[in-house]
């Protein structure tokens, strides 16, 4: 069967069309920099390779562009929309409602919408993708795969906040964690590469959104994001961890409304707030040209990651490997170098020559003397979503 997977990020839409269960990729692509006039569109199949720059301001417009190329009469890969049997959607926040993959109905859509305030850059885009896909592929089964599902194994001592108990029991305020589909996929690939299931791994997902997970024997035990995808590492436009008192100060002393604060921390902070750029490629270029703000932002970014590595190595009581993945983690040798320098106390030493090589396959970039493996593992959230979507109807 043909399964279309849609992975909506905060500023991107990745897509892959699979023949399942063979796991053969029929076509794949991405729309990057959604919301900008110079958005980038890539589409690749056996007979078609498109790379273009155009104005794409919304996720809805991005999905319509993808569908146009899928169904193109001359060079498309589908004869009709009915060829698609399943559309698998990445959904970021499942809250307490979802701890597994589900077929989408009206109730599921309403619950995804109700959680939008907890993932304002993601759940609305995920829901919009679902609703547009329902109109373009009306005969397909629509399936939601939740980022939060893999992180349900985090123990209570790690997911509970130190606030009165009723906020957890009555209002479900707790750490949920995100990027779980990616963390699950790359940790499983890392374990296969290492030849073991008994491992202590830290997975580092670095894209426009960034997160880290401590994983012991295949189960997540802690995660850098929290109640929403705002917490933890410095991200493209999100602040990451911040003293809650800053919010009170912004409101009471500086006159910001709660709506303005929400926009500030989610859309105007992070690398964008520090440098004026949200794309790390732009920041690295400006840093190389001597831009002090960009140089400092890169150092801050790596410093925050290093803090989590130290913390997670402690709770894991040891470390077998750290795994870099996602757009930045897989492609930025500079960030990997900044993160790994001066971690020899933990047995982490990088081989700069290996680090500077490019590859689309899993590889080690640690030195021969490093006690801890440093892996670059290309994530494939789309394949993981396809597999989970199909299993919902086969098993």
Of 226, 145, 126, nearest in space to 178 by CA? 226
Tell me if 331 is assigned to a ligand binding site: yes
Q: Give the position of tokens 């790359």.
A: 186
Determine the Cα–Cα distance for residues 283 and 275; give it in Å rounded to an integer.
7
Tell me if 240 is assigned to a ligand binding site: no
Per-position DSSP letters for 273-322, written without gaps between them: HHHS--SHHHHHHHHHTT-HHHHHHHHHHHHHHHHHHHHHHHHHTS-SEE
Tell me if 205 is assigned to a ligand binding site: yes
Tell me if 232 is assigned to a ligand binding site: no
Q: Please tell me which residue in 83, 147, 222, 231 is annotated as part of the active site.
A: 147
Q: Judge whether 201 and 187 are in contact, CB under 8 Å.
A: yes
Backbone φ and ψ for 211, nearest 5 degrees, come out as -160, 160
Tell me if 289 is assigned to a ligand binding site: no
Written as six digits, the tokens of 275 are 């440098």
Tell me if 207 is assigned to a ligand binding site: yes
Burial class from Cβ neighbours inside 10 Å (0-12, 13-18, 19+) for residue 194 reads: middle
Tell me if 318 is assigned to a ligand binding site: no
Tell me if 208 is assigned to a ligand binding site: yes
Tell me if 327 is assigned to a ligand binding site: yes
Tell me if 222 is assigned to a ligand binding site: no
Q: Verify whether residue 351 is a known catalytic residue.
A: no
What is the SS3 assignment for 186? helix
Whether the link from the prior residue into 21 is cis, omega within 30° of 0, is yes
Cite the beta strand spans of the chain per DSSP E.
2-8, 12-19, 24-32, 36-45, 49-56, 84-91, 102-103, 141-146, 200-206, 210-216, 219-223, 321-325, 363-364, 373-376
Tell me if 280 is assigned to a ligand binding site: yes
Tell me if 206 is assigned to a ligand binding site: yes
Cite the beta strand spans of 158-265 per DSSP E.
200-206, 210-216, 219-223
What is the SS3 assignment for 228? coil
Tell me if 293 is assigned to a ligand binding site: no
Tell me if 174 is assigned to a ligand binding site: no
Tell me if 329 is assigned to a ligand binding site: yes
Give the residue numbers of the binding site: 7, 14, 90, 205-209, 279-281, 327-331, 381
Binding-site residues for Mg(2+): 7, 381
Q: Which residues are annotated as a binding site for ATP?
A: 14, 205-209, 279-281, 327-331
Catalytically active residues, by annotation: 147
Detail the residues annotated as belonging to a binding site for substrate.
90
């Amino acid at each position: 069967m043909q399964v279309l997977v849609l992975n909506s990020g905060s500023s991107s839409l990745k897509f892959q069309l699979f023949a399942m269960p063979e796991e053969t990729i029929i076509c794949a692509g991405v729309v990057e920099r959604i919301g900008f006039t110079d958005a980038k569109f890539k589409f690749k199949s056996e007979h078609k390779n498109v790379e273009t720059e155009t104005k794409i301001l919304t996720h809805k417009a991005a999905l319509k562009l993808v569908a146009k190329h899928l169904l193109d009469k001359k060079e498309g890969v589908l004869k009709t929309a009915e060829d698609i049997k399943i559309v698998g959607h990445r959904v970021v926040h499942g809250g307490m409602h979802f701890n597994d993959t589900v077929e989408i109905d009206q109730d599921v859509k309403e619950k995804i919408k109700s959680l939008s305030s907890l993932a304002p850059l993601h759940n609305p885009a995920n829901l919009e993708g679902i609703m547009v896909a329902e109109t373009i592929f009306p005969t397909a089964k629509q399936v939601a795969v939740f980022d939060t599902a893999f992180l349900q194994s985090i123990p209570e001592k790690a997911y509970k906040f130190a606030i009165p108990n009723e906020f957890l029991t009555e209002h479900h305020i707790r750490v949920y964690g995100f990027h779980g589909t990616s963390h699950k996929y790359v940790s499983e690939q890392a374990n296969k590469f290492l030849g073991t299931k008994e491992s202590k791994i830290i997975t580092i997902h670095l894209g426009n959104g960034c997160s880290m997970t401590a994983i012991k024997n295949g189960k997540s035990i802690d995660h850098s994001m929290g109640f929403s995808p705002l917490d933890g590492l410095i991200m493209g436009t999100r602040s990451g961890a911040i003293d809650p008192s800053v919010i009170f100060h912004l409101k009471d002393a500086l006159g910001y409304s709660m709506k303005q604060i929400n926009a500030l921390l989610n859309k105007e902070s992070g690398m964008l707030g520090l440098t004026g750029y949200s794309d790390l490629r732009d920041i690295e270029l400006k840093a190389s040209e001597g831009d002090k703000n960009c140089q400092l932002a890169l150092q801050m970014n790596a410093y925050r990651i290093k803090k989590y590595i130290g913390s997670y190595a402690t709770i894991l009581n040891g470390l077998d490997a750290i795994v870099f993945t996602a757009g930045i983690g897989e492609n930025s040798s500079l960030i990997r170098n900044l993160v790994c320098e001066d971690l020899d106390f933990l047995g982490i030493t990088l081989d700069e020559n290996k680090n500077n090589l490019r590859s689309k396959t899993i590889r080690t970039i640690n030195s021969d003397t490093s006690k801890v493996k440093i892996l670059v593992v290309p994530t494939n959230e789309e394949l993981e979503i396809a597999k989970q979507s199909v299993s919902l109807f086969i098993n």
